[in-house]
Structure 1
Amino acid sequence: MLRTGGTRAGRWLPAAGALACALALAVVPARTDGALAAAGRCGDPAVRPWCDTALSADRRAGLLLAELTDDEKIALLASDDPLGGPLGGFFDWAHADTNNGIERLGVPPLYMADGPAGVRQGEATALPAPIALAATFDRRAAHLYGTTVGWEARHRGNDVIFGPTVDVLRTPLNGRTFEGFGEDPYLSARLGASWIEGAQGQGVMASVKHLAVYAQETDRLELSMSVDPRTLREIYLPPFEAAVTEGGAATVMCGFGKLNGRWACHDGGVLNGILRAEWGFDGMVMSDHTAVRDTAEAANGGLDMELPVGLRYNAFMLKAARAQNKVTQATIDGHTRNVLRTMFEFGVFDRPAYPNDLARVDRTASETAARTIAENGVTLLKNDGVLPLGAPKKIALIGRAAKESQSGFGSAKVVPFASVSAQEGLARRAGAGVSITYRDGDDRAAAADAARGADVAVVFVTDSQGEFFDKSCLTLRCGEPLRGDQDGLISAVAAANRNTIVVLQTGGPVLTPWADDVAAVVESWYPGQEGGDALARVLYGDVDPGGRLPVTFPAEEAHAPAAGNPAQYPGVNKTVAFSEGVMVGYRHYDAKNIAPKYPFGHGLSYTTFRYSGLKVGPKEVQVTVTNTGSRTGVAVPQMYLGLPSPGVDVPQPPKQLKGFTKVTLRPGQSTTVAFPLTERDLSYWNVEAKRWKVADGCYTVMVGASSRDVAQRGSFGQCR
């Protein structure tokens, strides 16, 4: 396997050997250099001066732009493979989108693939769902995730990977909950940036999506979203800003729907103003499939490339818009220059085409990465002492999900090379001396009988999530009606065996009315193709459950954000009012003093930890974490800030996540962790001044194991 240098992530798991294997994925230069030029596709710099790698990417783009005809310029502004969109993801040879380049001038084709959860192009490594990655609360895991996706995308012949999805979750009914990083903008921002660094370190351009607000599947193509400026800046834009300014994203994908009256892919205030002028983005902006509504508005609004084909960005329509003085030639040239500059910047001209060669994909390293990430996303919600498993002689496995590999559907659906079911993983880990009885759960009485005769019963339940549809409610029956009454199944098994463990394999929060009746609840999300082995290792205690909730689990349906308010969700006349403002996710529960079933950041370990020695200041917060138990375990210290309110018209959430880390500690071991604070962390968006501003007053610091488990408190600023 090719190894050309780069950096590797630090140790973050007890299973250091497995991680080292996963990190053996190659790291290649993202930018062009002279050594690559000789093998590139651009040509001889003496004949084609834009092929001179000593020149800046922008200078090279300008030289090439001057040689293009008007038709050639326009041809670079849209994907031109009509079969790519519908066939990409189902066949090894079919990319999601392709621009075929300009052969006469050495402009190479640009090949693209879907990839939020792995490469969607024939078979690939099915990684845990992004929501499981979010549950790791670990930037290094995100970097490994992006590295794995980038490596496989490269060896499927792709230059661009559509991912990550960093849309902040507004309602747990969202059908694409599994595809993002949850309800907190700070967590989404940090993980998204690391994902991008990992992917682009493999020489593949990441396309972060979906700018600027994408909150639901219901009416998504026509939805008009009313979002106030402060909420936009503080909740929905930070992950995209981090993707650009921290992760260095090469491309940004604009989404569907309208934001405050403007279609997302026409919104010059966001694309030209915020993205380029404020954040300094110099890459290219791509549309989601069929998201462009008007040629002139998109061109003037900042869109560079239309996908999947040029329905609005084609020679006839762009020339007509230019002739009618709706679009200038300078605007068209600017978009073409953005495309070319990005391709030069990331070395597409100066290297051979990536081969679509499945044999070059190192499945061993990718499988290890998938299992490692899954283990660290498994979240232990409840444990009455039944876990980790000791040496049970008889285990009852209940539920069809025990024999199946769960995933969401849509553009994040990956066809795995192979998959390990929970039944297979547990059987392998338990060994020959353990009797495992399986029941699919369709016959509730038979399931209860199997549980009654076992030392421990493990019930597997799941939901169904994906693109195009939102969930109608948060019960398991709503989430997966074809599986029948899974809640009733759990209750029946729990009545038959007090050592009942429920394993949730869901894409997001669900209601758990049976939680008080079972011995343990484990959320494994959609754990990917290696999920069976990962779950077995966690249940048996080979590794500590490393996950923490990136989303809040409500105790009741009516407690969830936007519940019972049609104007907020799903909208009235295809219009949604984001009238909750910044009170999104756990902020909603805190502001309304609602007790969730399982709060944001929650997740148990097989050991215990103590937090002490808090030191606070405007530049840094420190706390000491000590393992007070008898096992090596994983702690996830979380730091929240309560900002002072500058006025009654600017309410502040009681707390906001502003720092997190992940540490593995042996029994009795202590470590001091530091959370740096920036001026931005202390700021709110001042609508009148149109800038970030630090408010005067007292800042409350809260550090602990979750948003509701605060072990240490302090303050700084103007406090009385």
Structure 2
Amino acid sequence: MKLQVLFLVLVASAHAVSDHAPEPGPATAHAAKPGPPAPVHPDKDDSPAHAHPAKPSPPAHTQPAQPSPPVVSTSSPTSSAQPSESSPATVLPPPDALDSGNTGANGGKSWSNAFAKAQAVVMQMTIEEMANLTTGTDGLCVGNTGSVPRLNIPSLCLEDGPVGVRGAHGVSQFPAGLTSAATWDRNLIYARSKAMGQEFRDQGVHIPLAPVTGGPLGRSVLNGRAWEGTFADPYACGEASYQAVAGMLNSSVAPVAKHFIAYEQETFRDQYSAFPAPDQAAQLPISSNVDDKTTHEVYLWAFTEAVRAGTSHIMCSYNRINDTHACANAYSLNYLLKTELNFQGSVVSDWGGQWDNVDSARNGLDMGMPGFGYGGFFGSFWGSNMVDMVNNGTITEQVLRDKVIRILTSYYHLGMDINPLPDVGFNALFPLSYFPDRFRNVRKPGTTDLIREIGSSSVTLLKNTGGLPLNNPQRIAVLGNDASDNVLGVNACGSYGSGCDYQNLNGTLTTGGGSGSSFAPYIITPIDALKQRAIETGAEIGAVISQSGSAAETAAISELLRTADATLVFVNRYSAEAVDIPDLSIPEDQDFLIAQAVNYSSNVVLVIHSTGVVDIEKWVENENVTAIVMAYLPGQEAGAGLIPVLYGDISPSGKLPWTWGKSIDDYPPNGIIDDPVFSPEVNFTEGAFIDYRWFDQKNITPRYEFGFGLSYTTFDYSELVIDCTGSSDNTSYMATAEKFAESDGTNSLYDVLFTASAVITNSGNVTGSEVAQLYISIPEEGQPIRMLRGFDKVKDIKAGACATASFAIRRKDVSVWSVVDQQWYVPNGTFTIAVGGSSRNLPLSVTWTP
């Protein structure tokens, strides 16, 4: 039995090798203020980014396939799925919309030249050569395509991940997506992605497996890898996704938006789960059973923004969707993605997400990864099987040709044929923690400043009764290993971050685990930064970094804290890909550390590095806890970004990207399904009511609401004004084909209908930045009480000064999805527009009528 368990654990661990998914600065997706520069692409003659979306040409139909509707399985049927009890019956698109030949690739709004070039090149290929480009093979990267040397097409390198080039040395460890979200700063999200994209390119990576654009979105607070993503809100996640895709593109690499779609738990995610299936063979992955309205209004939203920004690829997820594998689901891939969203790029499978040859080929998958890499551990599909399927008529040659055109269009669009990438500078299959056999330093001088700025801007002050900012304390006590170094070395936990016991002395938690992790060149710990400050101020620092709970340790803490002016306690909570967390607790040894601190000190500042919400109810209201800070996962510059905020050099301006509940029972039930069955199912019966929407609907008071964060100053809101002067869509780099009731052939779902603005006054004594948030209440039955539809981070407002926050509201932002008509529409009635500093602090409101 032990051997069997060990084998299962090893399989689960080996699988984390990929995902492989990690998943323009176009101008701010639709903010009134100018955003980052528009993407600059080598395909200069393509359609301008500001042109009105053109209607898509009718797609050709070739090889018919059975439709894969949202609730009925078309491949690998398993147990029946029940749609949401509160959702209307799903109305399906016409069957021909699901036809396997209905791919419709034509280059879209901005890729026409690259599409034509790819089409011309692919027409010269043999069936074998085309199959070679759609199938993964062995190589130095976590994913590698075949090549076509006679046509000057190299093997394309695909590599994790969302915080940097995983497995490589000489690169930066960036703050996690979660951390960038906590800044609520579109410019920083864009800059992070652009800098990361440049390091990918310089290491020889054509296709970074990033960013995470809504998969997971954050349906469950227990999700093990939600930290790779951004906000637990469709709109905000969409804004972050747009900027992240834009940044990658402007470094001339081809981003992969992931994981598509409704991928909301790690437990039972795929056939490599550690759960022993009844027949000791393959357990089916979890089926996310979600209705059509929720799909459109919640889970598709952020991916739509990634498509609008011009993402090159989209990764299909491990889970099933309404009982059909996500990577062989004609409805989600051929209809939702390639038809409704008019996505012109390719769909790549997650590593092990492909389950067959035929259905995946017919139903929308374009690139199978890792294919025959890893010795076939993740399944060996396509390759020569693809050749056979074309030759025997199982699929048409046109279907295969379309896949290859989709793969190569972004390659040509980004000028990779004209400006080739360097050879791969690392070995992802054998990523040594130290002294690698390949080393290439690609870090740029300004990147450390950017990482540090993201860290500082994300710091979220949750409680402050006088503990912060630190008032030049002369005796500082520091408790907790999270403040210090990993005793085994900076990268001792491996390229997946999972090679250590995280209840041991592993140092400052700077990133989560799994394929979304990466090596750090160094980590500036909080103690490192405190020491530097002590040199400047003449302070003394004493630290107890062990967490054994021994009598000797308790005595040392007592002695240290007895004469300390301030006590800083550092704790963390780790999570990783492939495993969901069981509860919201922090490790017991750290809980004990906090108990010791409040026993011996009346001025305890608690700093949390975590992948998500943790239970703080035991001590949040303890009067000796004078401040609580959430520092998320800050990357290599951890202490350098944090300490200036603690000392007041920078006023904290981070805000929560999700709701911080008091108990796991505050959140929607049925979040993570772990029933030991062969065909696990999870019904998304909460519909659109996730995170703060659930708390609002159920009238639950959270510990800290969505969008909450304190400052060292205060802000007053006034003069909320609605300007009904509209404007045409100028943010869709690629145009979708979404239907909407108000369409007249010249307008767009993304036209701006009105702009709201409010005056923010700094009524305190120090300079500070404020994230102003706009929520809309839509007059339609079944809609959430309020939904985020705008945010604007107004920076560096001096004491006594004011600034204006602006919010451009698009037609889609005030629309709802009609299941019957299969289109968006603006409801009749009066809308309430509310503005403030968080989802439950909204001092201003006005009404608007279409």
Common fold: TM-score over 0.5: yes
How do 1:444-463 residues align onto structure 2 when only pairs under 5 Å count?
445=554, 446-463=556-573
- Structure 1 pair 334–27 and aligned structure 2 pair: CA distance change class (3 A): closer
Distance 1:538 1:8, change over 3 A: farther
Counterpart residue identity of residue 516, structure 2? A
What's 1:349 paired with? 417
* Residue of structure 2 in register with 1:51 after alignment: none
Determine the structure 2 residue equivalent to 1:184: 233
**Of 68, 72, 96, which residue of structure 1 is paired with 2:125?**
68
- SS of 1:350's equivalent? coil
Residue 628 (structure 1) aligned to one of 747, 756, 763: 763
How far apart are the structure 2 equivalents of 1:546 and 1:261? 43
Corresponding residue number in structure 1 for 2:200: 153
The 1:696–1:302 alpha-carbon spacing in structure 2 relative to 1, beyond 3 Å, is same
Partner of 1:240: 303
Residue of structure 1 in register with 2:834 after alignment: 702
Q: Distance in 2 between matches of 1:63 and 1:363?
A: 38
**Residue 646 of structure 2 corresponds to residue 511 of structure 1:** no
User: 1:287-366 alignment to 2 at 5 Å?
Assistant: 287-310=349-372, 311-323=379-391, 325-356=393-424, 361-366=442-447
Deviations 1:524-582 (A, max 9, x none): 011110011111111011112121000111112211222xx47x644674110100000
Query: Are the counterparts in 2 of residues 108 and 349 from structure 1 also a CA contact under 8 Å?
Result: no
Q: Which segment drifts farther, 542-551 or 59-68?
A: 59-68
Report if aligned partners of 2:131, 2:387 keep a CA contact under 8 Å in 1.
no
Q: Does 1:405 align with 2:416?
A: no
What do the CA deviations read for 1:298-328 (whole angstroms, capped 9, x no partner)? 1111111111124454343223433554322
CA drift of 1:283 comes to 1.1
- Cα deviations across residues 447-492 of structure 1 (Å, max 9, x unaligned)? 3432232100010000111101000000113xxxxxx332232122
Q: Say if 2:802 is the partner of 1:670.
A: yes
Q: Which moved more, 1:120-129 or 1:654-663?
A: 120-129
Alignment match of 2:164 (pick from 106, 110, 118): 118
Change over 3 Å in CA distance of 1:147–1:60 after alignment to 2: same
Q: Which amino acid aligns with 1:284?
A: S
Of 154, 160, 173, the residue aligned with 1:108 is 154
Q: Pairwise mapping of residues 478-517 of structure 1 onto structure 2 (< 5 A)?
A: 484-513=588-617, 514-517=619-622
CA distance in 2 between partners of 1:426 and 1:28 (Å): 40
Which one-letter code corresponds to 1:251 in the other structure? H
What residue in structure 2 maps to residue 263 of structure 1? Answer: 325
In 2 relative to 1, CA 176–448 (structure 1 residues): closer, same or farther, beyond 3 Å?
farther
Residue matched to 2:454: 373
Contact kept in structure 2, 1:405 and 1:529, CA below 8 Å: no
Aligned residues: 655
Match of 1:534 in 2: 641
**2:211 aligns to what SS in structure 1?**
strand
In structure 2, what is the equivalent of residue 580 of structure 1?
A: 686
Q: Which runs of 5+ in 2 are unaligned?
A: 1-23, 29-35, 46-110, 271-284, 373-378, 426-438, 485-506, 725-752
Q: Deviations over 1:3-53 (max 9, x none)?
A: xxx98999xxxxxxxxxxxx9xx999533469xxxxxxxxxxxxxxxxxxx
1:684-703 to 2 correspondence within 5 Å?
Answer: 684-703=816-835
CA contact (8 A) 1:388 1:539 kept: yes
How many angstroms apart in 2 are the aligned matches of 1:219 and 1:401? 31
Name whichever of 328-337 and 232-241 sits farther off: 328-337
Out of 244, 247, 250, which is 1:195 matched to?
244
CA separation in 2, counterparts of 1:673 and 1:546? 15
Partner Cα distance (1:620, 1:8) in 2:
20
Question: What's the counterpart of residue 340 of structure 2?
Answer: 278
SS of structure 2 residue aligned to 1:341: helix
1:434 partnered with 2:539:
yes
Tell me the SS of whatever aligns to 2:592: helix
Range moving further from structure 2, 375-384 or 707-716: 707-716
Residues in 1 aligned to 2:162 and 2:687: alpha-carbon distance in whole angstroms: 28
Call closer, same or farther: CA 1:449–1:553 in 2, change over 3 Å. Answer: farther
Distance in 1 between the 2:233 and 2:648 partners? 29
Contact persistence 2:657–2:706 (CA under 8 A): yes
Gaps of 5+ in 1: 1-5, 11-22, 35-53, 85-93, 478-483
Instruction: Find out whether 1:468 has 2:587 as its counterpart.
Output: no
Aligned AA (1:501): V
Contact in 2 for aligned 1:30/1:204 (Cα 8 Å)? no
SS of the residue corresponding to residue 209 of structure 2 reads strand
Q: Say which SS state the counterpart of residue 707 (structure 1) adopts.
A: coil
Contact 1:108–1:348, Cα closer than 8 Å, also in 2: no
Kindly indicate which of the two structures has a greater share of residues assigned to helix.
Answer: 1
Percent same amino acid at aligned positions? 32
Q: Distance in 1 between matches of 2:43 and 2:832?
A: 47
CA distance in 2, matches of 1:341, 1:128: 31
Are 1:391 and 2:472 an aligned pair?
yes
Could you give the per-residue CA deviations for residues 102-156 of structure 1, whole angstroms, max 9, x where no partner exists? 1112112211211211111322211111111110111101111101110110110
Match of 1:605 among 681, 689, 711: 711
Could you say if the C-alpha distance between residues 533 and 106 of structure 1 is closer, same or farther in structure 2, counting changes exceeding 3 Å? same
Q: TM-score, normalised by structure 2?
A: 0.74
Query: Which residue of the partner structure matches residue 846 of structure 2?
Result: 714
Aligned counterparts of 1:9 and 1:330: Cα–Cα separation in 2: 36
1:641-671 Cα distance to aligned partner (Å, 9 max, x none) = 11112x4xxx111111000011120011111
**1:356-400 deviation per Cα after TM superposition (whole angstroms, max 9, x unaligned):** 566562342221111111111111111112211111001111011
- Closer, same or farther in 2 for the Cα pair 1:205/1:73, shift >3 Å? same
**Superposition CA RMSD, Å:** 2.2
Of 357-366 and 468-477, the range deviating more from structure 2:
357-366
Q: Distance in 1 between matches of 2:595 and 2:351?
A: 44
SS at match of 2:621: helix
Q: Secondary structure at the match of 1:677?
A: strand
Greater RCO, 1 or 2 (C-alpha within 8 Å, sep 6+):
2
Q: Which amino acid aligns with 2:353?
A: A
2:288 is aligned to 225
CA displacement, residues 164-209 of structure 1 (integer Å, 9 cap, x when unaligned): 1122111110000211103111111101110111111011111010
Residues 1:657 and 2:788 are matched in the alignment? yes
* AA in 2 matched with 1:250: S
- Give the whole-Å Cα distance in 2 for the aligned partners of 1:55 and 1:279: 17
TM-score by length of 1: 0.87
Distance in structure 2 (CA, Å) of the matches to 1:408 and 1:55: 39
Aligned equivalents of 1:365, 1:65: Cα separation in 2: 40
Render the CA deviation track for 1:577-597: whole Å, top value 9, x for unaligned: 100000011101010000000
> Which is further off, 528-537 or 330-339?
330-339
Give the distance between the partners of 2:535 and 2:237, measured in 1 at CA.
39
Query: Per-residue displacement from partner, 1:206-258 (whole Å, max 9, x unpaired)?
Result: 1010011110111111111100111111111111100011x210111111011
Q: Identify the range of structure 1 (652-661 vs 671-680) with the bigger mean alpha-carbon deviation.
A: 671-680
Judge conservation of contact 1:571–1:577 (CA < 8 Å) in 2: no
Call closer, same or farther: CA 1:252–1:527 in 2, change over 3 Å: same
Asked whether the equivalents of residues 27 and 202 of structure 1 are also in contact (C-alpha less than 8 Å), the reply is: no
Matched to 1:575, the amino acid is: E
Matching residue's letter, 1:462: N
Corresponding position of 1:40: none
